[in-house]
Structure 1
């Protein structure tokens, strides 16, 4: 039997108040001495409000799995999943890519859902270390695979555009669970396939 089983529905409970956000953005810009009364900047507060709302609001999705009827027991890996989030310390974006893999147990996952899980945890004020761990922990809890691996590589504009201004630097974080943590050969295979271990 190949029926799908939804594990959990992830829902957006409350939506953003764009009018309040636009007013706050207008006051914020004014406090920094930026006038928003010219033709080119008049809509800037509204654009800021919509932009941050998009960055900080996850889309709902249903986590659907399928029986592992064929007994597939090798690594499943989605590489180069786009990541965009906002640093919780400076509210500046960080962008990069995630590599998410798992060793199936009794169920396998629709591949697009790996990207959905990353997006879900990225759409909030974040730190990269927590984003990496939340993604891995959630997949382990919901899918109950034999192992999970998540690697995130990202450029943080709070570090590249301000402060030390380390342009081009990237931060790499990883979380390994189950077999991918305990077995060196499996961990090596996962890291080699992500391209992180060169």
Structure 2
């Protein structure tokens, strides 16, 4: 449970510790920042992504066995090391098993996993494991291409840097023709 009042006070104290007075344009900043974090930036912390995936799934039909690729899914997450955002796009590819996910469900589950204080590597890994475990996907892959503001705005200041991760599960965890197809589909075309 988020204690918004406590978070707002902490933000104001943080600003004071940086030598700023809480007046003028900074008046009310503590509450605005607390609301932004609770309502948007880490809203995924309160969401059961597995339940969301199960709810948005349907039984696979006889023609629902081919590779499914959803690309250019917007992603925003918060780096737990510097509390700064990373943003970009993701690609999710999977071979359906017993069930298929609605396309919107895939996007919502990706949001639920990324709108947390988490590492980029963890988001993709959790998503592919959910697809295999909850839907019986024969194979799953998630590619994330994100710009981390902690890498761009501070320290190394590498403007334009893009961090890419690829997570695989199920049949895609081993070298096989299906994995080659999924990799080819995600590495070619699109923006992610």
Superimposed CA distance per residue, residues 140-184 of structure 1 (whole angstroms, 9 cap, x where no aligned partner)? 111111100111110111111000000110100011122323244
- TM value normalised by structure 2: 0.87
Matches within 5 A, 1:43-192: 43-53=28-38, 54-58=40-44, 60=47, 62-63=52-53, 64-192=56-184
Q: Matched residue of 2:154: which SS?
A: coil
Shift of 1:109: 1.0
Judged with a 3 Å threshold, the aligned counterparts in structure 2 of structure 1 residues 105 and 137 are, in CA distance, closer, same or farther, namely same
Higher helix share: 2
After superposition, the CA RMSD in angstroms is 1.9
2:52–2:109 CA contact under 8 A, matched in 1: no
CA distance in 2, matches of 1:26, 1:20: 10
Q: Which runs of 5+ in 2 are unaligned?
A: none
Q: Are residues 71 and 106 of structure 1, via their aligned partners in 2, closer, same or farther at CA, if it must alter by over 3 Å? A: farther
Query: TM-score when scaled to structure 1?
Result: 0.85
Q: Give secondary structure in 2 for the equivalent of 1:194.
A: helix
Please give the per-residue CA displacement for 1:113-152, whole angstroms capped at 9, x wherever unaligned. 1112111111221111111111111221111111001111
Query: Per-residue deviation at 1:62?
Result: 3.1
Structure with the higher strand share, 1 or 2: 1
Q: Aligned ranges for residues 3-14 of structure 1 at < 5 Å?
A: 14=1
Unaligned stretches of 5+ residues in structure 1? 1-13
